[in-house]
Amino acid sequence: MSWTRQFLQWTLEAECPFRSGQGCTVPWEANRQLETLTRIGHAIYDGDVCEGIKVRSTFAKDSRGKTFKIARSGARIADLLRQYGASLDEARKICGGCPANASDPSVSNLAGCQGKLNGFDFDNENLEKVLQKTLKQTGMKKRFSQLFHLTTPLWYGLWIDSPLKPEQSRLLAELFRAAKLDVPVEGLEITHWDFEMPHFLNALDIAATGSMRLHVYVPSVWSCDEYEAWEWEHCPRCKKTLLSDINERSPTQRCKVCRFRFDLPDRMEQLLNSTHYFDIDDGDGAAESNEGNDVVSSESQFHSIQELFGPDREQSFQLRYLIQQGCAPEECDVVLGNEGDSPLLRRIRSVRRGRAVTLADARRKKAPTVAVKFAEKRLRIAINSEVEIDFLLIPAGTFQMGWAGDGTSTPGGHAPGAITISIARPFYLGKVPVTLEQWQALMDSNPNEFDGDGSLPVDRASWLDAQEFCERLTARSGLPCRLPTEAEWEYACRAGTTTRFSTGDELLSSQGNFKPREEFEQADAPKRQTTAVVTYPPNQWGLFDMHGNIFEWCEDCLHEGSEGMPVDGSPYLLNADSQPRQIMRGGSFNKPAAYAASYWRESASADTGPREPCDSALLKFVLDMYWTAHGFRVVCEVI
């Protein structure tokens, strides 16, 4: 989940071949239409362009401790600019000759007619002190009070009027320069201030001449996950976010910042009714998207460096990119060898190595303990005299994994591309996700978010926790117990079907624990939580909760699409040493049905475990709606 901070968006009003309509006057629309151009400009400034490729990187250090970027994926700038109908040189020429271009040429002359002041707190006390002190020392206070709305803090009042009048632009330029805001200010912790504020000051200077109008806009605060977003209550005039107790509100409010009076609708109704969906497929084959989105997404243009150059040229490009950054040639191999050296990644590597040794030993010995009970197509492992784990035999077979596409929904990056997988050997798979009772019997702890009896699934175990559970179960049973691979999980979920769900192309609320679309829009919708593991019917192979209830960890580390996936059903581990996120499958009780599709892929950091306690009623309300429950089920190999 992400949380936006308040920031300023601005644009100088001008005709432009790269933007049109509201993009000429509305800051957020100008930002949207010119986003790719802006990002290319920033990438050039940050040194993230090499040989015509906009590079995405990981980081590593050389032997002296200096940090460098390692190219991992990228996009050809020519492909990114195709939506604008211009080459990079042509775009530079057009933008560089535009009178609305306020950029510093040493930073970027692309899309300089618009920008942001981003990454700082509007309520920062140091910013308020600097502005108040400067107004007093320079004698600007009277002019300021005549031109701007007086608010507390002052910063909110600067952006209520739009477009700014020439005299307002002139005073702001004088104020910011007198306050030395064109250089980083101690205590503000502002990102990109080194070029964002000088850029904005240039725009103010242009607007101060009266030759061009400067439009400003402060978005309200939003919170979102990848597909759903909601707007926090705020003053409609100055956009100050309201964070008072939700139970102590009168319908009519007066903003404490700008003293504007306004009516406030019911809090919960507003939060839920302002939820927006972005390409969410809700299980009936329909997908929604943003209206008027005629800007081409650049994400589809990005590929791994290996895909861009081929496996034989991947490392040579990485070496050239390192040398471009100033890395000594003799240090390049050191940097590449040090990639991904973080505490979490070291722990993941250690866990994988330890598990590999344990599994190999169990496979070699083939010595199940007395805790194991075999039956026809079934296996039971007794954790103690009262608690067992029930496994079902999954036959070997071949299936089409991933998303083939049917023109009715858009999983985006949340599905591997269609690929044929052959599961050569049968395996046992947990009939249900690991339950709280089973977890407590083996681990002697309770990671759960929800209270209930032992038949609830474990709902907040990290990937590392799940690996420890499998390690202990291997020791208990003498059998090789592990997490399923992503291919094994989908194979078992589909159970011979080829539709979106094992139930067909639609998942009904009677078939799995998920959140129907209509409940996202109901203020009085019942609060959902995980359900007992055998509440809903099993799939065709007798497995419960393969659709909904909780996401389930897999053995694979996160990767995009199906490129490089083993076709024998083994886990994808090509980037395991540098990838902290691990694959999850199956959907969650508080997500739409789309997340529970057989092909749907999610991921989370391997150490994502129980949530920290939360004292804020509003924050808890929001987190309750949007956190994901994750547990796992166990594979026991046939020996």
d(Cα 595, Cα 600) in Å, to the nearest integer?
6
Q: Beta strands 551-557 and 630-631: pairing type? A: parallel
The verdict on 143 and 238 lying in the same domain is no
Tell me the pLDDT tens digit for each residue of 46-63: 899 999 999 998 888 888
| C-alpha to C-alpha distance for 539 and 545, rounded to whole angstroms | 8
Q: Which residues contact 313 (CB under 8 A, 6 or more apart)?
A: none
| Cα–Cα distance list, 588 to 136, 434, 490 (Å) | 56, 15, 16
3-state SS, one letter per residue, for 405-443: CCCCCCCCCCCCECEEEEECCCEEEECCCCEHHHHHHHH
Name the 3-class secondary structure at 309. Answer: helix
The region, left, alpha or beta by phi > 0 then psi within -120 to 50, assigned to residue 110 is beta
Give the pLDDT confidence score for residue 315 in this predicted structure.
Answer: 87
Token pair for residue 5? 């901070």
d(CA 320, CA 50): 8
What secondary structure letter does DSSP report for 449? S
Q: What is the 3-state secondary structure (H, E, C) of 129-163?
A: HHHHHHHHHHCCHHHHHHHCCCCCCHHHHHHCCCC
Residues 192 and 246 in one domain: no
- The answer as to whether 448 is a domain residue is yes
- Supply 624's token pair: 């309750």
In a domain, 88, yes or no: no
Q: What is the pLDDT of residues 325-382, one digit of tens each?
A: 999 998 998 888 777 667 888 899 899 999 999 999 999 999 999 889 988 899 999 9
Residue 433 and residue 470 in one domain = yes
pLDDT at position 277: 31
**Where a domain ends, among 218, 238, 254?**
218
State pLDDT tens for residues 252-292: 778 888 888 877 554 434 443 333 333 333 333 333 333 33
Residue 411 is assigned to a structural domain of this protein: no
Please tell me whether residues 152 and 269 are part of one structural domain: no
- 242 plus 139 within the same structural domain: no
**Cβ within 8 Å of residue 286, ≥6 positions away:** 408, 409
Q: What is the CA radius of gyration of the chain?
A: 28
Q: Which residues, other chains included, contact 177 with Cβ-Cβ below 8 Å and sequence gap of 6+?
A: 201
Are 262 and 155 within one domain? no
Q: Which helix (H) or strand (E) holds 228?
A: strand 228-231
pLDDT band at 164 (very low <50, low <70, confident <90, very high): very high
- The model's pLDDT over 74-84, given as tens digits with 9 standing for 90+, comes to 999 999 999 99
In a shared domain, residues 168 and 204: yes
- Same domain for 203 and 246, yes or no, is no
Task: For residues 574 and 567, give the distance between their C-alpha atoms in angstroms, rounded to a whole number.
Answer: 14
Least confident of 31-35, 98-102, 331-335, 618-622: 618-622
Q: Token digits for 326?
A: 């100033």
Q: Which amino acid is at 243?
A: L
Q: Of 170, 195, 218, which marks where a domain is finished? A: 218
Q: Tell me the CATH number at 495.
A: 3.90.1580.10
**Could you tell me if 248 and 367 lie in one domain?**
no
One domain for residues 542 and 619: yes
How large a percentage of the chain has pLDDT more than 90? 57
| Domain extent at residue 214 | 117-218
Number of domains in the chain: 3
